[in-house]
A = this chain, B = another copy of it.
């Protein structure tokens, strides 16, 4: 977590504060899928193709530190951990939906294509 002093006085900083929270490499995807309900570590790892456990955990921990998701550990064997959105996290719903919609459109319109 970067508690960067500069957010204090830059005009438009709230934009960056927001992006700082959801802009991590997989955070948007994780949050988006959490809109549909609780997820387990294993599901995230299937989602984040190519990402190492290290990174997945890091993204999840940061979201947790930011109070957007909750991590619930069950004392069972085998271990079970569930991640879910907090109310703060749920407040991102309209934004995540908008981003998803815009991204979808943009993939078609963007000036470059994959495999070029």
Contacts and interface: CB of A to CB of B under 8 A. Distances in A.
A66 B115 CA distance: 16
B33 A11 contact: yes
Interface of A: 1, 3, 5-19, 21-23, 25-26, 28-29, 32-33, 47-50, 65-67, 88, 91-92, 94-96, 98-107, 109-116
Contacts of A103: 13-19, 21
Nearest to A105: B91
A83 to B, nearest CB: 15
Contact of A102 (B8, B11, B95, B101): B95
Contacts of A111: 65-67
Contacts of A21: 103, 106
